A and B are shown apart, each in its own frame.
Chain A
């Protein structure tokens, strides 16, 4: 059984009369020890999905799902108090901008020890020793003195290491990394990715990586879900999905990577933008931008259908074209 099982998850914002579905009919499963990537443009619903699962939407969004289960516990019916026993302990999350994700008023040590105190009840010398151990785990130099440091005294890379230490404090079964390297320098990005992947292997935890960097996903993930306008457009195993994308959107996304356009004069792009709240098309959400659009696409919404290596939400997936 999967560690995390999401079936038909929708998240709605706005009032009941005029709702906006930021996430619609999302299916996702993550197994223990697996790295799953979620890719998509800004506003495609990647982060909202995770926030909904963590209970971080603070009553702003309405969450509907057929199934939302983590480690055998139903996150839909669970009380807020029960959820807080899982969140931060068994499911941990790190965020995009480490410089603003740490509280400026408290030392790094305090912020690491806080989770240990709340979830594991550690106190005194044991607590301090464990915090130091975590600082060493995320390879922070001079860990002992850094425990006394305030976030503004750390670089972005160091801050993200601290965030990882906080997240790993209670040995989570699932770590969600929401664009963990986007705000960092390129050289630091690689270091942090290596650290994350090594820790994941070492501890056999599940890692859910949200990003818009396809190269990162191609390198580290076992499976990937491509999101578009709140829906999963295509889901599949790496590397098949990258070798043979079957959804037109995935294909367009891949061809927009500079490395894939060697020799071309211009980078391949998909004209138009992700439809917003008021301009969602009647048919397939990609239909206004899709290069392979057919009349049926404009009238009906495709459902996600499984195939050999994954699943795709398209009436005319690109199997044949690739084969021929």
Chain B
């Protein structure tokens, strides 16, 4: 198991360098530079432009810039935003809880309902429920977030008025960011100051529902389909027949003997959803004006804020890689054949 972890860790290092190279290159491929975007092309004086670029170190050849970037990374220096002069790490840690809260809720939503739908669809194969779930999941999977998100806002928030249109909480509440997780902060605020903040927690929940569903739809569909096909495959296995021949109850056959084995590939898929969630958060946060990493990165790209884009993406990507690393280890725990492999 220890060597298994070491081997997985070894794979992470080249991946990490790949990401630095790609983000570094991609942001420089977009036309324009930070100074141009800041000032606007027509009023830009070439001399001033060159001086500003020199001050930022952007006049150097690309390989020098890249080397400089990576060597700073090794010293733990993630740079500062060109706009706010605030360090990228500080900005990230301030905004990340909002994204994490949304992504976690979406992941829990997707996993719980995805597993449930997948398992029931597999057991009731060929039924109306099965066809319904599979049809819906294909729709959910194929629907772009920006279409589905806007439609959901129009229908549920504007037409039906069930949920708020955007933001994390109503402005009339006085909620101090303590943990950065709005659900916890609102709950605390309500306890501390019941007069002003009565109903703050419920309001935070209402704000969270629609973005959670919109962000969770694609992972939900993916997990449901994967669970179903994996369950169907395992249900045909000889050892499931053995379990039945032992006279075990249907619940035991399904949950102990089938689901345990069917979950192994599903676990990997759930881990991969973390990447999907981070990518989806960018769009979802933009639609719902959710003050998280996604919105922050979109704005940084808009103003060619090289340090924020490079290092913001690097941090997010590292988180995704680490999550998948953890999933790989869980996979090893779930699957004795991998755990014991030499």
CB pair A103–B247 under 8 Å, yes or no, is no
CB pair B237–A105 under 8 Å, yes or no, is no
CB pair B238–A101 under 8 Å, yes or no, is yes
A residues 106-162 in Cβ contact with B at 8 Å: 106, 114-115, 118-119, 150, 152-153
Chain B nearest CB from A323 CB (Å) reads 45
Question: Is B73 located at the chain interface by the 8 A CB criterion?
Answer: no
Residues of B within 8 Å of A184, CB to CB, are: none
CB pair B248–A114 under 8 Å, yes or no, is yes
Question: Is A62 located at the chain interface by the 8 A CB criterion?
Answer: no
CB pair B247–A163 under 8 Å, yes or no, is no
Residues of A within 8 Å of B244, CB to CB, are: 54-56, 58, 87
Residues of A within 8 Å of B335, CB to CB, are: 104-105
Which of A58, A95, A119, A153 is B247 in contact with, Cβ under 8 Å?
A: A119
CB pair B246–A103 under 8 Å, yes or no, is no
Residues of B within 8 Å of A301, CB to CB, are: none
The docked-state distance in angstroms from the alpha carbon of A58 to that of B340 is 34
CB pair B248–A105 under 8 Å, yes or no, is no
CB pair B340–A166 under 8 Å, yes or no, is no
Which of B249, B257, B260 is A84 in contact with, Cβ under 8 Å?
A: B249
CB pair B247–A87 under 8 Å, yes or no, is yes
Which of B237, B248, B334 is A88 in contact with, Cβ under 8 Å?
A: B248
Contact bitstring A69-98, B, C-beta under 8 A = 1, else 0: 000000000000001111111001101010
B residues 53-96 in Cβ contact with A at 8 Å: none
Total residues of chain B contacting the partner, CB 8 A = 21
Known: A104-B336, A105-B336. A85 touches B247 (CB 8 A): yes
CB pair A103–B245 under 8 Å, yes or no, is no
B residues 222-262 in Cβ contact with A at 8 Å: 237-239, 241-249, 252, 257, 260-261
Q: A88: nearest residue on chain B (CB-CB)?
A: B247
Question: Is B42 located at the chain interface by the 8 A CB criterion?
Answer: no
**Residue of A86, A106, A163 contacting most chain B CB atoms (<10 Å):** A106
A residues 276-312 in Cβ contact with B at 8 Å: none
Known: A88-B248, A114-B248, A118-B248. A103 touches B243 (CB 8 A): yes
Question: Is B7 located at the chain interface by the 8 A CB criterion?
Answer: no
Known: A85-B247, A103-B261. A95 touches B242 (CB 8 A): yes
Q: Is the interface of B mostly helix, strand, loop or mixed?
A: helix
Question: Is A3 located at the chain interface by the 8 A CB criterion?
Answer: no
The docked-state distance in angstroms from the alpha carbon of A86 to that of B249 is 12
Known: A100-B239, A101-B239, A102-B239. A92 touches B336 (CB 8 A): no
Q: B257: nearest residue on chain A (CB-CB)?
A: A103
Chain B nearest CB from A195 CB (Å) reads 19
Chain A nearest CB from B232 CB (Å) reads 13
Q: A100: nearest residue on chain B (CB-CB)?
A: B238
The docked-state distance in angstroms from the alpha carbon of A262 to that of B237 is 42
Which of A84, A95, A106, A150 is B238 in contact with, Cβ under 8 Å?
A: A95
The docked-state distance in angstroms from the alpha carbon of A55 to that of B253 is 14
CB pair B246–A88 under 8 Å, yes or no, is yes
Residues of B within 8 Å of A83, CB to CB, are: 247
Chain A nearest CB from B125 CB (Å) reads 11
Residues of A within 8 Å of B241, CB to CB, are: 56, 95, 101
The docked-state distance in angstroms from the alpha carbon of A253 to that of B252 is 43
Residues of A within 8 Å of B260, CB to CB, are: 103, 105-106
Known: A103-B261, A104-B261. A54 touches B246 (CB 8 A): no
CB pair A97–B249 under 8 Å, yes or no, is no
The docked-state distance in angstroms from the alpha carbon of A83 to that of B60 is 80
Which of A93, A97, A105, A114 is B245 in contact with, Cβ under 8 Å?
A: A93
Residues of A within 8 Å of B245, CB to CB, are: 54, 56, 87-88, 92-93, 95
Contact bitstring B131-162, A, C-beta under 8 A = 1, else 0: 00000000000000000000000000000000
CB pair B257–A118 under 8 Å, yes or no, is no
Residues of B within 8 Å of A100, CB to CB, are: 237-239
Chain A nearest CB from B237 CB (Å) reads 7
CB pair A104–B239 under 8 Å, yes or no, is yes
The docked-state distance in angstroms from the alpha carbon of A286 to that of B244 is 35
Residues of B within 8 Å of A84, CB to CB, are: 247-249
Residues of B within 8 Å of A85, CB to CB, are: 247
Chain B nearest CB from A72 CB (Å) reads 18
Contact bitstring A45-77, B, C-beta under 8 A = 1, else 0: 000000000111010000000000000000000
CB pair B261–A105 under 8 Å, yes or no, is yes
Residues of A within 8 Å of B334, CB to CB, are: 105
Residues of B within 8 Å of A101, CB to CB, are: 238-239, 241-242
Residues of B within 8 Å of A105, CB to CB, are: 260-261, 334-336
The docked-state distance in angstroms from the alpha carbon of A89 to that of B246 is 7
Chain A nearest CB from B140 CB (Å) reads 30
The docked-state distance in angstroms from the alpha carbon of A102 to that of B248 is 14
Q: B341: nearest residue on chain A (CB-CB)?
A: A152
Known: A56-B241, A100-B239. A152 touches B337 (CB 8 A): yes
B residues 292-342 in Cβ contact with A at 8 Å: 334-337, 340
A–B pairs, 10, beta carbons within 8 Å: A93-B245, A100-B238, A101-B238, A101-B239, A101-B242, A105-B335, A105-B336, A150-B336, A152-B340, A153-B340
* Extra pairs beyond A84-B249, A101-B239, A102-B239 (17, CB < 8 Å): A55-B244, A56-B241, A56-B244, A88-B248, A95-B241, A95-B245, A101-B238, A101-B242, A103-B242, A103-B243, A104-B336, A105-B261, A105-B335, A118-B247, A118-B248, A163-B242, A166-B246
Interface of A toward B, CB cutoff 8 Å: 54-56, 58, 83-89, 92-93, 95, 97, 100-106, 114-115, 118-119, 150, 152-153, 163, 166
